[in-house]
Amino acid sequence: MSTIPACPQCTMENTYLDGDNIVCADCGHEWPVNAATAADDAADAVIKDASGNVLADGDAVVLIKDLKVKGSSITLKMGTKVKSIRLVGGDHEVDCRMDAGNFMLKACYLRKV
């Protein structure tokens, strides 16, 4: 098992070291080795919902606000229940699957069920 992290852009694990950078062979994205350790530290940070409850992988959450999907005519309605979330690092902390598709959401628009 490789200790080189997956690509933050395409999430594929086909990455390799090239000097002081890590390179993704699939999408060509490059980032410094130091940024990879900072991203791992950010992923270990505690993620809280709108009510201040700590979220974990596999939790069920509910949307507390209607959310318009950027670049689409889809609107995710308030009160929609999302099961089995996955926490990821970055600006949009929650990765989930709904009937309308797969989405990355901010935890501030979610409430733990």
Say if residue 66 is in the same domain as residue 99. Answer: yes
Domain with 99 in it: 61-112
Share of the chain above pLDDT 90, in %: 50
Q: Domain check: are 31 and 71 in the same one?
A: no
pTM: 0.59
Cα–Cα distance measured from residue 40 to residue 66, given in angstroms and rounded to the nearest whole number: 31
Tokens in use for 83?
């099961």
Q: How many domains does the chain fold into?
A: 2
CATH of the domain at 37: 2.20.25.10
Rounded Cα gap, residues 84 and 101, in angstroms: 14
Q: What is the mean pLDDT of the chain?
A: 86
Span 18-68, pLDDT tens digits: 888 899 888 888 888 876 555 555 555 789 999 999 999 999 999 999 999
